[in-house]
Homo-oligomer: A and B are copies of this chain.
Amino acid sequence: MPIVHIHMFEGRSVDQKRRLVESVTDAIVSSVDAKPDSVHIVIHDMARHDYGEGGVLASED
């Protein structure tokens, strides 16, 4: 039943997302003893002007 939300900058390919979902699922299964089928992952792309750190948008850096 782990439910995972990953927020990251847009621009990753579907192939990178495929590897992301596979490897994060493996990481969860091996570390907290969950079944692979119970791991649900939602990927949220974000634009650089929708993320700020230290009070500054990433698009300004």
Contacts and interface: CB of A to CB of B under 8 A. Distances in A.
B40 A50 contact: no
Contacts of A4: 4-7
Given A28-B24, A31-B16, A55-B25, A42 B6 contact: no
Copy total for this chain = 6
Interface string A15-53: 011111111111110111110110111111110011111
A53 B4 CA distance: 10
24 contacts: A1-B8, A1-B51, A2-B8, A3-B8, A3-B42, A4-B6, A5-B5, A8-B34, A17-B50, A20-B32, A22-B31, A24-B28, A27-B27, A37-B54, A39-B54, A39-B55, A40-B40, A40-B52, A41-B53, A42-B46, A42-B50, A43-B52, A44-B44, A44-B46
